[in-house]
């Protein structure tokens, strides 16, 4: 066994053994956790010889699994509150997780209206009456990092929106890291009943002085028939943090799902999304932006599975890479044999602002149906020198000219966000990146 794999496995095994007394759930839940950790141990941290992780070798980038963060104390909660105030989406109902634990005093659970039920993962796992739900929430996959999350998840939110219910206000799930050189694992679940509609924002931020942490988050989403969900996610972690986030989504018949993901923080980030268009006539729109500088590494991996006929998917991603940053995008579209009349398109574009910047784009099509429209395209390049000269000749500084062209480059992806308030929120996040870049 290679030494790096052996060291990583020993570190993870020690972390799991030390944490078992703090992990919620016994009996069947404990068995699920043990099997999930065994599945993780069989492969260890993903590396470049694993096809899905070939560009993001965690044995090199992450090396091992850090100790589990302690439950937040009063000091941690005070620092988390300051981070929440800066990250909060105006008008949203906040659901706050601090170092992997739900923080009721920082959350707005009392403001939830009728037809919306929110529980913590810990409550679900410790309730024998919720055994079936617990098994669903802790479902696992062949992905090693999701298996590790299944084994180690300490808390999360379990949200159910009743059939026909429309959320009056967005939900904002805010993950705050306050502990340095530690890891935390969260697992959340969102279910929209048939005909339900809602908006969910998810943010990853750090409290002042938190550094060198590892975040591992999984969200499972079920979108019912004729339901609609807008979901925006922003990663703004500490500059030396590692964030591995996964989402497993099933979309029902004639339902609409609008996703947007932005990575602008952290040393190493991976956002992986496994989406199944399970019902006839489902519609999916996914947009994403990576904003990188220095030595940041950001990986967006998306698998869209057309499993039913007459489904439509659109994927549009942009990356702006400065310094020695590296952006990775892997997009796979699958059209199953029964997915006739599928209509899918994938576009990815990268803007490289330095000679050391790198973008790796890997589009894939797996077509098993004979009556589909599927296509993809990928490009990368630098800023147009003639446009920079034109703008400079009209009095703009080099930084202002670059910023104007970068904003135009990002515009198509951000304009793909269906909700106007979410578009404004995403735009404000890009402005923070511009400010940090100066």
Which residues contact residue 306 at a Cβ distance below 8 angstroms, ignoring those fewer than 6 apart? 277, 313, 333, 334, 335, 336, 339, 342, 344, 369, 372
Q: Alpha-carbon distance 262 to 312, whole Å?
A: 23
**Tokens read off for 105:** 């005093």
Instruction: Decide: helix, strand or coil at residue 274.
Output: strand
Find, among 172, 168, 219, 173, the residue nearest to 196 by Cα: 168
- Residue by residue, pLDDT tens for the chain (438 residues) are 555 556 666 778 889 888 888 999 888 888 889 999 999 999 899 999 999 999 999 999 998 999 999 999 999 999 999 999 999 888 899 999 999 999 999 999 877 878 999 999 999 998 865 666 676 777 777 899 999 999 999 999 999 999 999 998 999 999 999 999 999 999 999 999 999 999 999 999 999 999 999 999 999 999 999 999 999 999 999 999 999 999 999 999 999 999 999 999 999 999 999 999 999 999 999 999 999 999 999 999 999 999 999 999 999 999 999 999 999 999 999 999 999 999 999 999 999 999 999 999 999 999 999 999 999 988 999 988 999 888 889 888 888 899 899 999 998 899 988 888 889 999 999 998 988 877
pLDDT for res 12: 81
CA 237: distance to chain centroid? 12
Instruction: Decide: helix, strand or coil at residue 320.
Output: strand
Q: Which residue matches tokens 């609609």?
A: 228
pLDDT for res 27: 85
Using alpha carbons only, give the angle 153, 198, 178 rounded to the nearest 5 degrees. Answer: 35
What global pTM score does this model have? 0.93
DSSP string, 386-417: HHHHHHHHTT--HHHHHHHHHHHHHHHHHHT-
**Tokens read off for 115:** 């037809």
Which residues contact residue 190 at a Cβ distance below 8 angstroms, ignoring those fewer than 6 apart? 159, 161, 200, 219, 220, 221, 222, 229
pLDDT for res 177: 98
Using alpha carbons only, give the angle 132, 272, 62 rounded to the nearest 5 degrees. Answer: 105
């Amino acid at each position: 066994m290679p030494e790096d794999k052996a060291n990583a496995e020993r570190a993870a095994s020690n972390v799991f053994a030390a944490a078992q007394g703090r992990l919620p759930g016994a009996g069947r839940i404990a068995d699920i956790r043990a099997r999930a950790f065994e599945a993780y141990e069989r492969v260890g941290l993903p590396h470049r010889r694993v096809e899905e992780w070939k560009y993001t070798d965690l044995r090199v980038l992450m090396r091992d699994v850090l100790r589990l963060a302690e439950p937040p104390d009063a000091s941690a909660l005070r620092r988390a509150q300051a981070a929440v105030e800066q990250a909060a989406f105006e008008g949203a109902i906040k659901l706050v997780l601090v170092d992997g634990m739900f923080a009721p005093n920082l959350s707005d659970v009392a403001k939830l209206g009728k037809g919306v039920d929110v529980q913590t993962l810990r409550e679900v796992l410790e309730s024998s009456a919720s055994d079936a739900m617990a098994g669903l929430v802790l479902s696992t996959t062949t992905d090693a990092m999701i298996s590790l999350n299944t084994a180690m998840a300490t808390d999360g939110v379990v949200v159910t929106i009743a059939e026909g219910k429309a959320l009056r206000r967005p939900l904002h799930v805010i993950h705050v890291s306050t502990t340095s050189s530690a890891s935390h694992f969260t697992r959340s679940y969102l279910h929209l009943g048939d005909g339900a509609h809602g908006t969910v924002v998810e943010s990853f931020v750090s409290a002042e002085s938190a550094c060198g942490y590892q975040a591992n988050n999984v969200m499972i989403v079920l979108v019912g028939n004729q339901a609609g969900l807008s979901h925006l996610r922003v990663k703004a972690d500490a500059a030396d943090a590692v964030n591995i986030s996964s989402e497993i989504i099933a979309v029902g018949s004639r339902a609409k799902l609008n996703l947007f993901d932005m990575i602008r923080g952290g040393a190493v980030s991976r956002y992986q999304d496994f989406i199944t268009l399970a019902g006839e006539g489902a519609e999916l729109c996914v947009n994403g932006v990576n904003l990188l500088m220095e030595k940041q590494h950001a990986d967006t991996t998306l698998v869209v599975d057309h499993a039913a006929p007459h489904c439509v998917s659109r994927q549009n991603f942009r990356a702006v890479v400065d310094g020695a940053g590296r952006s990775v995008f892997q997009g796979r579209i699958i059209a199953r044999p029964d997915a006739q009349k599928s209509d899918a398109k994938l576009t990815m574009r990268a803007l490289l602002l330095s000679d050391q910047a790198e973008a790796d784009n890997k589009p894939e099509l797996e077509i098993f149906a004979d009556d589909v429209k599927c296509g993809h395209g990928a490009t990368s390049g630098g800023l147009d020198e003639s446009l920079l000269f034109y703008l400079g000749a009209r009095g703009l500084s080099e930084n202002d000219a670059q910023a104007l062209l970068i904003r135009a480059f990002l515009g198509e992806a951000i304009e793909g966000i269906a909700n106007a308030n979410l578009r404004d929120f995403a735009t404000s996040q890009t402005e923070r990146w511009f400010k940090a870049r100066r």
